[in-house]
Amino acid sequence: MKKPKIIFIDLDDTSLDAKTNGSKHFSEENINVIKEVNKEIPIVISTGRGNNEETRKILQDAGLNTFIAWNGAQIIENGEIIQGYPIDRDVVQELFDEIYLEKVSVIFNSNPKKMGFVRNKFFKFILKLGQNSARNYSEFRNDFIAYKALIWSPSKRKLAKLVKKWNLMFSGKLTVSISGSKNNFIEITAYNVSKGQAEAQYCALKGIDVKKAIHIGDSMNDASTKNIVGKVVTLSNSVQDFKNIADEVLPYSYKNAGVAKYLSQFLK
């Protein structure tokens, strides 16, 4: 693909290559190149992060206002939700019953303080959530709209088993995928909701051929874009499973403006 019609970019461990006071953000080099490329080729962030103030601030630094949140559960354009796919409330309860049974931790909608639930205080410490963040299982009330659930356990083997179990158990109800820079999380959205599906929908809304789109990511929650967009690109820090299916594996990591290095070719 000589020049794409649109570029979708993940955030964590892909384009957020700088950190200030514990908060990740784009480096100046990434910001400058993203802004320049975006003048000619639309750049849309496609992330597992939520539709919240922190995410919007990150995007604003690079002059971006359109993004796909929660792995495809929402598409936001100019501050407006143009597509939204919550998890059915009955299915949320079924999922939480399984979380309780399997004794794993969960954060709904990227909100650990109000929608994080753990087995006990020890797991609050392990997750670095603090005493005032997350709640015990007993405090769960199925009274909110859930777009994404993030599952954690200290055992990656257990997470791998749960992905297989829940993909069978919730077939036709949920999309369950392994995620994280070390395959150390599970991310769950409504059925048939993924980055790949959302990117296809956004392209259709804009009259863009999705086969002329590029997706840049690093983990298995980016794998859903394979065979949907025209080209899937990853960096050297990506998990091996994603490298195995990517169309191009870059020789450098996301650090030190890896995304800018790749995007620069489209400024020529």
One pLDDT digit (tens) per residue for the chain, 268 residues: 789 999 999 999 999 999 999 899 999 999 999 999 999 999 999 999 999 999 999 999 999 999 999 999 999 999 999 999 999 999 999 999 999 999 999 999 999 888 999 886 655 555 555 554 678 899 999 999 999 999 999 899 999 999 999 999 999 999 999 998 888 999 999 999 999 999 999 999 999 999 999 999 999 999 999 999 999 999 999 999 999 999 999 999 999 999 999 999 999 7
Task: Output the pLDDT for position 133.
Answer: 66
Other Cβ atoms less than 10 A from the Cβ of 14: the count is 27
C-alpha span between 79 and 75 (Å, rounded): 10
CB 234 within 8 A of CB 250: yes
Report the topology of domain 6-85+193-267: Rossmann fold (3.40.50)
Domain locations in the chain?
Answer: 6-85+193-267, 89-190
Q: pTM value?
A: 0.92
Domains 6-85+193-267 and 89-190 share a fold: no
Pairing of strands 43-46, 66-69: parallel
Question: 207-235 burial string, b = 16+ CB within 10 Å, else e?
Answer: ebebebbbbbbbbbbbbbbeebbbbbbbb
Q: Nearest 10 degrees: CA dihedral of 206, 202, 8, 30? A: 70
Task: Output the pLDDT for position 112.
Answer: 86
Task: Output the pLDDT for position 149.
Answer: 98
**CA distances, 145 to each of 80, 138, 189 (Å):** 17, 19, 12
CATH for 89-190, options being 3.10.450.50, 3.30.1240.10, 3.10.20.70, 3.90.110.10 = 3.30.1240.10
Q: Kind and range of the H or E element at 123?
A: helix 121-126
Task: Output the pLDDT for position 125.
Answer: 55
Q: Kind and range of the H or E element at 5?
A: none
DSSP 266: G
C-alpha angle 214/224/100, rounded to 5°? 145
